C-alpha cells in the first residue's frame, strides 16, 4: 500500500507476496490486528500463483492507526503464518 489510505475505505485491494508458488493451497486467510488490538481474519484469493489478494469491505478499516497483517495458509506440505507486514490507516482529512 504505497498511497495514503483512510478510515472507512471500501474497495482498496491488498496484495500480499507469499514468496513462493501457493497454487492449490487451502485454508487461506489474512490475519489482521487492528490498532485497537482487535484481531480479525479476512478471506483472500490466490493471485498470480505467489500472492494473496483481498478487497476491503465495509468495516474492515474502521480504526485509524497501524494495522498488522500475516498471511495464513496450508500448502499440503506446510501450514502456518507468513511474516508480519504493516500498514497505516489515517483519519479523514489527516
Write the pLDDT tens digit of every residue in 66-93. Answer: 999 999 999 999 999 999 999 999 999 9
Structure confidence at residue 1 (pLDDT): 46
What mean pLDDT comes out for the span 30-51?
A: 97
* Domains in the chain: ranges and CATH: 5-90 (2.60.40.10)
Q: Give burial (CB, 10 Å; 0-12/13-18/19+) of 45.
A: exposed
Q: Per the structure block, which three cell numbers stand in for 8?
A: 472507512
Whether the predicted pLDDT of 42 surpasses 80: yes
Amino acid at each position: 500500500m504505497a498511497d495514503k489510505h483512510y478510515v472507512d475505505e471500501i474497495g482498496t485491494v491488498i496484495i500480499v507476496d507469499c514468496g513462493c508458488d501457493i497454487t492449490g493451497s487451502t485454508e487461506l486467510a489474512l490475519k489482521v490486528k487492528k490498532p485497537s488490538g482487535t484481531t480479525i481474519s479476512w478471506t483472500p484469493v490466490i493471485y498470480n500463483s505467489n500472492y494473496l489478494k483481498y478487497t476491503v469491505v465495509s468495516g474492515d478499516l474502521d480504526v485509524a492507526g497501524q494495522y498488522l497483517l500475516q498471511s495464513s495458509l496450508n500448502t499440503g506440505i506446510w501450514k502456518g503464518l507468513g511474516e508480519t507486514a504493516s500498514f497505516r490507516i489515517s483519519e479523514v482529512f489527516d
